[in-house]
Amino acid sequence: MPIHPEKLSVRPAFSATEALKGMRKNLDKPIEVITKMWGKFSELVDRLNKKYLAPLMAPLTGWLDSFADLKLGGKKEEEKKKGEDREGNEDGVEKMVKKSEGQQAEKTPEVRAELATLTGEAKMNKDVEKMLIGPRILRAVDEAIEKRVTGIHCWDWADKVYKMAGITERKTIFDSVDNFDKNTNKQACAQKEQLDNIEPGDWLFINNNNPHDPKGNHSVIFLGWADKENLIARTAGASSGTIGSPSTTKIATEADFPAPPEHPRTFPVTRIKKPVV
């Protein structure tokens, strides 16, 4: 194919700067369009916010603010009330103390007189009851003998008599059960000083060589003195399984060993127990 030089066209040189200018020119249009669209979108959002969102948010915001104020105010009010309550309680206690002191000051003479009367009566009743406790036990002894009450052993019979008299407690005022020995330690038994303190109704342990007791002691109830000067006592007791009965016993002291022939039933006291009202 023949070439015709007159139909050939030569393109001008194309530089990088011109290429960049062309690209910028081509981008200007889209950027302008995007900027206009963003502006319209912002206007739309602003209109929607003012028309719809703001009215909805206003009550909510107000409610939240009110709630915060209420909570804070309530807390302050509660603290204030607690403070007032504390002050009120302190004032109330102070008033009560003053009132009590006033009443006490006003009624002290009468109250003291009444207390003194009641105390005196109580003490008198207690003394009377102590005076009557012995006769109660002696009546219980008579009743036990009349009813032919028996005991498993001497201690059991004495305990039954005490219970019949309404006595459930007793107090030991002398005890030499573990120390007394008629041969090596006869002075350990009750002496005149202790024997002067026994009264009708007291529970005595006498050492009569009782084979049923490891230490040889026997329980009896003291009924009174048949001859106090010679320490001859009236007692009541029972052996194992037998009916209780009264008897006469010569109370031995250290000087009475061995037993005198005229009093074969001469036994030392190794324990003294008194009934407790």
Mean pLDDT calculated for residue range 237-246:
91
Q: What is the pTM of this model?
A: 0.55
What is the pLDDT at residue 97?
A: 52
List, in order of start, the domains of the chain with CATH numbers: 135-275 (3.90.1720)
Q: Which of 106-115, 172-181, 254-263 bottoms out in mean pLDDT, i.e. has the lowest?
A: 106-115
CB 244 within 8 A of CB 161: yes
Which pLDDT band holds residue 144 (cuts at 50, 70, 90)?
Answer: very high
* Contacts (Cβ under 8 Å, ≥6 apart) of 205: 177, 217, 218, 219, 269, 270, 271, 272
- Name 159's bridge partners: none
Question: Looking at per-residue confidence, does 249 or 20 come out higher?
Answer: 249
pLDDT in tens, 60-77: 666 666 655 555 555 556
CA distance linking residue 122 with residue 128, whole number of Å: 10
Q: What is the mean pLDDT of residues 121-140?
A: 76
